[in-house]
């Protein structure tokens, strides 16, 4: 299994040593194989003998002529503070220490003494939990843990050895291993597996540990194959991804099998939350049904039109509709902004009443969110070009101009839609009917003449101030996609 | 799970009914759902009460107004005769009966009452055996068993129901199920899983049966995804496949991951032996190392140059080298054959001594195996065109003609290679050096003048009878690819 770890004999390897039989065998095997080593031992302060165990490891390192690093943390206190189990807290602090020291020393990898017995326990644990392929594949001989380091891998050179082998190796080479050195990764559940269930399974298959270690190896190969397929599906269905969200093309997702969707959601979840430990099948299956749902770690599936988002913060999702803000005009208002040109599209609001001169005479472009422009033009009535498009609003300029205002939607807003004279409808109902996602409603731009809503921008125009037989001049407002998306 | 079975309400479904709780629930559920049904019950003659159980099922069918078919076989006798376990023999005879009756009745599917409990046992059994993804994925809701029928699927509509659910369904609907109806698929091993191990695993996960049934579902999706990848790799690396062998392009295989190779070998093995029940990981891993090896069911991996064959009968592999046979001239010799034109390339042998007139004067083509031609031409010596190609042999016609013979290689054959006058080498050594596969050697054509080997056809020419300063006329023999491969 050393070969699968892909280590170079020229570069340092940090070896995590508890002093137990596995880690001492690992240390000796790697030294015999000629790798330059750094011994690292972590004191979890969970048992009174921990300090003397670390001292024991330090002495072994000295006798082997190897450099040694150590640190200690109060795992129990950290666990309580962070709301973690003792095992989770121990793992997090230990790995943080190991990778920090590996970076400091310029090590090529962190090596741990996991054996085929550990692998069998891991596979069995995932099997009992129903973790699917991603869990059943167990531990890889070489693996990046992005939470701890993006480049230095964790390697497990003894993954093909049974614990019986590390024991006889230590006896043969007279290595002074500690029989009580704590394996803090060993939860109560895992201990039951080790001391009760695995021995019981041996009555069904005497080679169960090796069998499960082989199953892991076989499934790792299958998982790698599948990952290639997931890679190419990812290319196809992901329209955007970042630190805050992953955006899928919903119609493309619908063309994929549920199995592939499950893998895509799993990957997306881990890309947003690298520290996630597991996502169960039921959760992934719900996600794969492509309906709004909660995934793991606070992540939610949000569907808007043909977009499906995975995020834990709706406010960070991209905005592709016109939006304005109440915060305008704010303290950072500039001259450019007062002329209707804003620096931040989402925060743009033009107080029309302060620009009367411009509105009376000047054609104008106002950015509404990063992708949208509102254009305003004054001209004579041209009855051949009266648009009924919701993206186009034409008002009688003599009645409306000078009183034009833009403001965002407020709860309770009503207006009188074009074609329904004398009848008002609630804007909230209009938003629902038009399937405008909730998060866009409170910043949706409305055009008013005085206090009357005359255009729900881009969606519906009203009966009020519309062009009549007596109209001479019009103000023509149009919502357009901006050519330059970002300033 | 009924939806996943893909059944049409217009076509007959054959339901396998033992009279036990699962099969009775299945029968009732399918009738309630409106499928036209045929009840089939098989008597394995393994227990004295079997006959009365079949009678019980017949009565239920009558009461439900459903057609009924039955048959019986002496499973124990068949098992002994075929060297099968009782369980294997029972399964084979039962499925043979079910699919035969399904064909007779024009049924769209054979339905069985497998439940989530059976699924959990199956997954667990494969897990303990180390069967890899193909086994861990358990039973599919719809599946073709090519050994029994190439088109009628086996469907398992109750795969999502636990046994507790079928029991309460039967009680609720007052279905008179037999508590002792034998499930002949239940081996001693499976019984231990059911009554001992699964209850024990429930102390780790109370929902273990449902968890394992979900694992199966999840892995079936993954397996289907992987199968697509295997499909496209198959297109790329398989150069020929038939009933007797599968031929791989070895250099293409080397470009694939071991995991993908394992799946390809698994698929190839099942394409040759649809009745294979399992291939373990070690065996597939050995195969994936691309060295000659034994696979399951008598199948062997044979490597010849850039060909890798999987077969259980080397004699059925394709022949792409020149070959002749000792059987010629045989009783079916025809006039065409005596002129050097044979009907069966592999069996071709021209007894030159019987064609002296032709050889003295006539140019000739002799097929040597289905893809090869030996051309013979007589002409004046042309020193500008003296080839040293092993596919070309030029002899002094006055010395050699009239004494030319073709015969296949015999153990002990030696000859004097061109450029090594006075020194003879063993042809067997030559074959080894040139990496000629063993299966081709005993039919390899040799050209002789009298009793002396002058050309190991296509491979090496000899010192003997070569063109000299006193040569006037030559006989020029050339090995060529035939344009028409098959007669």
Minimal C-alpha gap between A217 and chain B (Å): 9
Do the Cβ atoms of A214 and B130 come within 8 Å? yes
Do the Cβ atoms of A222 and B189 come within 8 Å? no
Nearest-angstrom CA–CA distance, B463 and B454 = 7
Type and span of the H or E element at A315? none
Q: What is the pLDDT of residue B342?
A: 39
CA angle A427, A428, A431 (to 5 degrees): 85
Nearest-angstrom CA–CA distance, B465 and B70 = 78
Do the Cβ atoms of B197 and A189 come within 8 Å? no
Q: What is the pLDDT of residue B315?
A: 84
Q: What is the pLDDT of residue A353?
A: 41
Do the Cβ atoms of A218 and B260 come within 8 Å? no
Nearest-angstrom CA–CA distance, B291 and A479 = 69
Nearest-angstrom CA–CA distance, A448 and A464 = 10
- All residues of chain B having their beta carbon less than 8 Å from the beta carbon of residue A218 are 132-133, 259, 262, 281, 285
Q: Which residues of B touch A (CB under 8 A)?
A: 127-130, 132-133, 136, 189, 192-193, 197, 200-201, 204-205, 208, 211-212, 214-215, 217-222, 224-226, 228-229, 257-260, 262-263, 281-282, 285
Nearest-angstrom CA–CA distance, B213 and B136 = 10
- All residues of chain A having their beta carbon less than 8 Å from the beta carbon of residue B214 are 130, 281-282
Do the Cβ atoms of B204 and A262 come within 8 Å? no
Q: What is the pLDDT of residue A99?
A: 98
Query: Tens digits of per-residue pLDDT, B213-237?
Result: 999 999 999 999 999 889 999 999 9
Q: What is the pLDDT of residue A211?
A: 92
User: Quick one: DSSP state of residue B181?
Assistant: -
Minimal C-alpha gap between B172 and chain A (Å): 29
User: Quick one: DSSP state of residue B425?
Assistant: E
Q: Using an 8 Å Cβ cutoff, are A202 and A164 in contact?
A: no
The answer, as to whether pTM is greater than 0.95, is no
Closest CA in chain A for residue B196: A200
Nearest-angstrom CA–CA distance, B161 and B119 = 10
B370 or B123: which leads in pLDDT: B123
Q: What is the mean pLDDT of residues B5-19?
A: 95
Least confident of B60-69, B84-93, B177-186: B177-186
Minimal C-alpha gap between A218 and chain B (Å): 6
* % of chain B at pLDDT higher than 70: 89
Q: Which residues of A touch B (CB under 8 A)?
A: 127-130, 132-133, 136, 189, 192-193, 197, 200-201, 204-205, 208, 211-212, 214-215, 217-222, 224-226, 228-229, 257-260, 262-263, 281-282, 285
B466 or A362: which leads in pLDDT: B466
Least confident of A193-197, A356-360, A361-365, B289-293: A356-360
- All residues of chain B having their beta carbon less than 8 Å from the beta carbon of residue A260 are 221, 225
Q: What is the mean pLDDT of residues A183-200?
A: 79
**How is residue A439 written in tokens?**
């998060």
Q: Using an 8 Å Cβ cutoff, are A258 and A329 in contact?
A: no
Q: What is the pLDDT of residue A79?
A: 92
Q: What is the pLDDT of residue A338?
A: 43
Q: How many CB atoms lie within 10 A of CB B47?
A: 13
**How is residue B104 written in tokens?**
């007779």
Q: Which of A130, A194, A217 best probes binding to B when mutated, by most B CB atoms within 10 angstroms?
A: A130
Least confident of A450-459, B195-204, B273-282, B412-421: B273-282
pLDDT-derived band at A327, boundaries 50, 70, 90:
low
A329 or B153: which leads in pLDDT: B153
Q: Using an 8 Å Cβ cutoff, are A72 and A42 in contact?
A: yes
Q: What is the mean pLDDT of residues B80-93?
A: 90
Minimal C-alpha gap between A10 and chain B (Å): 28
pLDDT at B101 over 90: yes
Give the residue among B208, B207, B221 at the shortest CA–CA distance from B140.
B221
Minimal C-alpha gap between B218 and chain A (Å): 6
- All residues of chain A having their beta carbon less than 8 Å from the beta carbon of residue B212 are 130
**How is residue B9 written in tokens?**
């309400």
Minimal C-alpha gap between B147 and chain A (Å): 27
- Pick from B208, B211, B229: CB nearest A229: B229
Q: Using an 8 Å Cβ cutoff, are A342 and A361 in contact?
A: no
Do the Cβ atoms of B282 and A133 come within 8 Å? no
Query: Tens digits of per-residue pLDDT, B330-386?
Result: 333 333 344 443 333 322 334 444 343 334 556 777 878 767 888 888 888 877 777
- All residues of chain A having their beta carbon less than 8 Å from the beta carbon of residue B127 are 127, 215
Closest CA in chain A for residue B263: A222
Nearest-angstrom CA–CA distance, A314 and B135 = 42
pLDDT-derived band at A368, boundaries 50, 70, 90:
confident
Beta strands in A222-284 (DSSP E): 238-241, 245-249
Q: What is the mean pLDDT of residues B174-195?
A: 76
Q: CB neighbours of B277 closer than 8 A, spacing ≥ 6?
A: none
Q: What is the pLDDT of residue B348?
A: 33
* % of chain B at pLDDT higher than 90: 50
pLDDT at A97 over 70: yes
Closest CA in chain A for residue B131: A215
Q: What is the mean pLDDT of residues B36-54?
A: 93
Minimal C-alpha gap between A190 and chain B (Å): 11
Least confident of A90-94, A116-120, A441-445, A481-485: A481-485
Closest CA in chain A for residue B222: A259
Do the Cβ atoms of B281 and A228 come within 8 Å? no
A162 or B369: which leads in pLDDT: A162
pLDDT-derived band at B126, boundaries 50, 70, 90:
very high
DSSP labels, A374-417: EEEEEEE--GGG----TTEEEEEHHHHTTSEEEEE--TT-EE-B
Minimal C-alpha gap between B208 and chain A (Å): 7
pLDDT at A435 over 90: no
Give the residue among A214, A199, A227, A200 at the shortest CA–CA distance from A138.
A214
Beta bridge partners of B367: B373
Do the Cβ atoms of B132 and A222 come within 8 Å? yes
Q: What is the mean pLDDT of residues B20-34?
A: 95
pLDDT-derived band at A183, boundaries 50, 70, 90:
low
Minimal C-alpha gap between A275 and chain B (Å): 23
* % of chain A at pLDDT higher than 90: 51
Do the Cβ atoms of A259 and B221 come within 8 Å? yes
Closest CA in chain B for residue A256: B225
pLDDT at B426 over 50: yes
Query: Tens digits of per-residue pLDDT, A36-80?
Result: 999 999 999 988 889 999 999 999 999 999 999 999 999 999 999
- All residues of chain B having their beta carbon less than 8 Å from the beta carbon of residue A192 are 204
Give the residue among A61, A210, A230 at the shortest CA–CA distance from A138.
A210
Q: What is the pLDDT of residue B425?
A: 93
Minimal C-alpha gap between B225 and chain A (Å): 7
Nearest-angstrom CA–CA distance, A14 and A108 = 8
pLDDT at A161 over 80: yes
Computed over every residue of chain A, the mean pLDDT equals 85
- Pick from B128, B215, B225: CB nearest A226: B225
Computed over every residue of chain B, the mean pLDDT equals 85
* ipTM field: 0.76
Do the Cβ atoms of A257 and B127 come within 8 Å? no
Q: What is the pLDDT of residue A263?
A: 92
Do the Cβ atoms of B133 and A219 come within 8 Å? yes
- Pick from B204, B224, B259: CB nearest A259: B224
Minimal C-alpha gap between A291 and chain B (Å): 19
Q: What is the pLDDT of residue A359?
A: 47
pLDDT at A15 over 50: yes
Per the omega criterion (within 30 degrees of 0), is the bond before B329 cis?
yes
Do the Cβ atoms of B214 and A257 come within 8 Å? no
Q: What is the mean pLDDT of residues B266-293?
A: 86
Per the omega criterion (within 30 degrees of 0), is the bond before A246 cis?
no
Query: What count of CB pairs under 8 Å joins A to B?
Result: 115
Do the Cβ atoms of A127 and B260 come within 8 Å? no
Q: Which of B218, B234, B288 best probes binding to A when mutated, by most A CB atoms within 10 angstroms?
A: B218
Q: Which of B122, B123, B133, B228 best probes binding to A when mutated, by most A CB atoms within 10 angstroms?
A: B133
- Pick from B189, B197, B259: CB nearest A224: B259
Do the Cβ atoms of B214 and A133 come within 8 Å? no
Do the Cβ atoms of B226 and A226 come within 8 Å? yes
Nearest-angstrom CA–CA distance, A261 and A254 = 9
Q: CB neighbours of A343 closer than 8 A, spacing ≥ 6?
A: A334, A336, A337, A487
Q: Using an 8 Å Cβ cutoff, are A353 and A330 in contact?
A: no
- All residues of chain A having their beta carbon less than 8 Å from the beta carbon of residue B198 are none
User: Quick one: DSSP state of residue B228?
Assistant: H
Beta bridge partners of A303: A308
Minimal C-alpha gap between B91 and chain A (Å): 23
**How is residue B101 written in tokens?**
């009756």
B87 or B40: which leads in pLDDT: B40
């Amino acid at each position: 299994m050393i070969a699968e770890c892909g280590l170079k004999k020229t570069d340092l390897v940090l070896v995590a040593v508890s002093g137990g039989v596995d880690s001492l065998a690992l240390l000796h095997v790697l030294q015999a194989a000629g790798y330059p080593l750094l011994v690292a031992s972590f004191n979890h302060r969970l048992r009174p003998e921990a300090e003397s165990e670390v001292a024991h490891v330090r002495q072994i390192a000295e006798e082997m002529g190897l450099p040694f690093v150590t640190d200690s943390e109060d795992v129990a206190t950290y666990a309580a503070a962070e709301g973690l189990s003792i095992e989770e807290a121990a793992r997090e602090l230990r790995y943080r220490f190991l990778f920090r020291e590996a970076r400091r020393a310029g090590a090529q990898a962190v090596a741990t003494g996991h054996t085929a017995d550990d692998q069998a326990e891991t596979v069995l644990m995932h099997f009992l939990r129903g973790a699917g392929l991603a869990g059943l594949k167990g531990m890889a001989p070489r693996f990046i843990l992005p939470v701890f380091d993006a480049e230095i891998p964790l390697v497990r050179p003894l993954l093909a050895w049974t614990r019986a082998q590390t024991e006889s190796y230590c006896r043969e080479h007279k290595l002074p291993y500690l029989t009580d050195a704590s394996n803090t990764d060993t939860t109560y559940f895992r201990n039951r597996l080790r001391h009760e269930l695995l021995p019981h399974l041996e009555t069904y298959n005497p080679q169960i540990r090796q069998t499960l270690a082989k199953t892991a190896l076989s499934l790792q190969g299958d998982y790698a194959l599948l990952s290639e397929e997931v890679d190419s599906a990812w290319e196809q269905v992901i329209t955007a991804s970042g630190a805050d969200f992953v955006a899928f093309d919903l119609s493309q997702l619908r063309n994929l099998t549920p199995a592939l969707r499950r893998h895509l959601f799993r990957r997306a979840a881990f890309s947003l939350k690298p520290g996630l430990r597991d996502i169960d099948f039921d959760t992934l299956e719900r996600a794969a049904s492509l309906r709004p749902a909660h995934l793991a770690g606070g992540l939610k599936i949000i569907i808007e039109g043909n977009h499906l988002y995975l995020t834990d913060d709706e406010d960070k999702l991209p905005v592709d509709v016109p939006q304005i803000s109440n915060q305008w005009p704010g303290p950072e208002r500039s001259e450019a902004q007062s002329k209707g040109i804003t620096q931040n599209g989402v925060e743009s609001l033009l107080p029309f009443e302060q620009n009367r001169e411009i509105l009376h005479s000047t054609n104008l472009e106002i950015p509404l969110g990063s992708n949208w422009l509102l254009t305003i033009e004054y001209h004579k009535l041209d009855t051949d070009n009266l648009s009924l498009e919701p993206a186009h609003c034409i008002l009688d300029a003599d009645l409306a101009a000078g009183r034009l205002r833009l403001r965002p939607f407020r709860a309770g807003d009503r207006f009188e839609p074009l074609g329904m004279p004398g009848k008002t409808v609630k804007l909230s109902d209009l938003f629902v009917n038009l399937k405008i996602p909730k998060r866009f409603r409170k910043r949706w731009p409305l055009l008013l003449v005085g206090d009357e809503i005359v255009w729900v921008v881009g969606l519906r125009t009203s009966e009020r101030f519309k062009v009549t037989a007596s109209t001479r001049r019009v103000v023509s407002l149009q919502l357009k996609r901006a050519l330059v998306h970002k300033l």
